[in-house]
Amino acid sequence: MHEICHFTGLKQIINLNQKIEMKSKIVIAVFLAVSIAFTACQKDDPGTTGPSVLGVKIEALNKSYSLPVTDGTKSAAATNAAITWDTVQLVVSQIKFEANLKSLTTNRDSIEIEYKWTGPKLVNLLNDELVLGNFMLQPGFYDEIELKVYGNKEDAGNKPVFYMYGNYTNAENSKIPVALKVYNYVNFKTEKDSVTVTEESIDITSYIQLYLDKLMTGINPEMLDNATLTKGVILISADSNREIYLTIVRNLVKDHHCYFEHKGAKGKGKKHDD
């Protein structure tokens, strides 16, 4: 099974709204840097029939890690430098679900479906309990499923669309506060092929996982040691420590590993890797 994950910019949202639209064509744009997983659990009432409910969780993983982070193609000298993120936030303006459901009568033709969830909502990505969406899924075989998460600058106002805050520990074991602020439009996108919903009335959760260590790939401790401080904080933004900022933004457009996990009614799961 082929799985792709992509990342791009940032934007925001307005009222809670959900609607379904038939589309003749899906246009795929931009790239993302996340990981996605699907899990399903049987609802308490086994006699209930009807469509399944898909919810979306957005999680930030690996909030503490050593520097430098490599891309896996080369090794790095061991250092005592490290970063720990205490706050990771994203303004979620809209989540769009797009799917191709194979026809049960012909087993060839696909029905193209689209749902939308509209906010805006400020999401704590370190909180793994928050579920957004509640999209209705009919049992069947889905040739392709796409989830797109939009963060709009207008919905954030004068605050960042994507924000991280934590501490950088240098080689001398001194801690320096560090903050990342991205005010641009942001778009997360995930794409998965061959997803089967075998039962009615089950709860399905899709996990979109952002690996924080991967955002710092290629940034050496010396870059942070020599960074400009703003009121004692290493501020990373389009206007401050721009080289570090651009490196992080470039890392957001790289492909990252994805996996698919499905748990049946008895809690047994299957994991499918690239």
Render pLDDT for 102-145 as a digit per residue (tens, 0 to 9): 766 666 667 888 889 999 999 999 987 888 887 877 778 887 78
Strand partners, 90: 123, 162
Judged by DSSP in three states, 222 sits in helix
Q: How many H helices and E strands in the chain? A: 3, 17
Taking the C-alpha atoms of residue 36 and residue 179, their distance in angstroms, rounded to an integer, is 26
Taking the C-alpha atoms of residue 222 and residue 236, their distance in angstroms, rounded to an integer, is 15
pLDDT, tens digit (0-9, with 9 covering 90-100), for 59-101: 889 999 999 998 765 555 567 899 999 999 999 999 998 888 8
CA proximity to 117, closest of 98, 97, 88: 97
- Residue 257 vs residues 93, 153, 246, 254: alpha-carbon distances, Å: 25, 28, 22, 10
- Whether the Cβ atoms of residue 12 and residue 157 lie closer than 8 Å to each other: no
pTM of the predicted structure, to 2 decimals: 0.74
pLDDT, tens digit (0-9, with 9 covering 90-100), for 227-263: 999 999 999 999 999 999 999 988 876 544 443 444 4
